[in-house]
A and B are shown apart, each in its own frame.
Chain A
Amino acid sequence: MTKHEFMEILRSREALFGLPEEDIERSLSFYGELIDDRVDEGMSEEEAVADVGAPGEIAAQILSEIPLKKLVKEKIKSSRRLRAWEIVLLALGSPIWLTLLIAALVILISMYAVLWSLVAVVWSVGAALVGSFLLSIAALVLLCVQGSVGMGLFLLGLGIVCMGLALFLWFGSMAATKGAWWLSKKVPFWIKSLFIGKEKKV
């Protein structure tokens, strides 16, 4: 192909991928320069263009080097140019998509609520067990005063068992809290990836 054809293909591929204007111009001048250098050395234009590589692959290479943020910004910029009828359609359809969106958000919030209530339950059980232990100490004192030392000691024994269970539960509570925290963090990323993930797969 000729140099002109090469440049046009490269330009159109890069524009297709949503590369910003100045990046396109810069890459075109680079490759144009290298083709010219080869021609200066004696290669024919066809040979020079072939030597430089396939414009499709070059465009893909350039794209893969650009940071994700820049790509997404460009995509958002270019997709914001909504035409009039698209805006009207969006407005007319809002009772539908807006309510669906709100419903989705409410479901998400209730899922969060359920998740964290579960965590709260685990902690509450732990707290109750600790409370039982403390109560058993109080009971011991009271019963000793009344003379039933045996009973008091028995209740203290139960209280100590409760404390032991509470200590075991401590690890469970920490794990549950960490797990819930990790899950809460993962969800926004997952949502983001639904939108951005598609861009990088070029």
Chain B
Amino acid sequence: MDIQMKRGLLDVCVLASIREEESYGYQIIKEMKPYVEISESTLYPILRRLEAAELLTVRTAEYNGRLRKYYHITESGVQRIEDFKEEWREILSIYQFVIKDREEKKANDET
């Protein structure tokens, strides 16, 4: 997959994983694992980027005697997810068309 495209997609994935409730680093990775593999070294720059763009906020809290960073989505973050969904509704409809074309052609060739 195109690197730039994957970056953009992973950004939204991370936002989606903290949409319902705030989360922390390792939990985000675990949540995404069944769908897409993401490593620490990929996640870290994403979280920094999202924070810089004010799509999420970070707070530090104590857990088990050590400090842990919790990531919380912002209004703009939620908006970003909605924009993504809208974008992909369109992409999916285009995909349907492209697929459809090949099936029709196959049908024509067989007759």
Contacts and interface: CB of A to CB of B under 8 A. Distances in A.
Contact of A36 (B27, B44, B48, B66): B66
A8 interface: no
A196 B79 CA distance: 37
A38 B27 CA distance: 10
Nearest to A31: B40
Nearest to A30: B44
A34 B26 contact: yes
Chain A contact residues: over half helix, strand or loop, or mixed? Answer: helix
A58 B39 CA distance: 10
A99 interface: no
Given A33-B68, A40-B64, A65-B45, A58 B26 contact: no
A112 to B, nearest CB: 39
Contacts of A31: 40, 44
A57 interface: yes
Contacts of B45: 61-62, 65
Contacts of A37: 24-27, 68
A3 to B, nearest CB: 12
B111 interface: no
Given A33-B67, A40-B64, A65-B48, A57 B41 contact: yes
29 contacts: A27-B44, A29-B67, A29-B69, A30-B25, A30-B44, A30-B47, A30-B69, A31-B40, A31-B44, A33-B24, A33-B25, A33-B67, A33-B68, A34-B25, A34-B26, A34-B40, A36-B66, A37-B24, A37-B26, A37-B27, A37-B68, A38-B26, A40-B64, A52-B40, A57-B41, A58-B41, A58-B44, A61-B42, A61-B45
Interface of A: 27, 29-31, 33-34, 36-38, 40, 52-53, 57-58, 61-62, 65
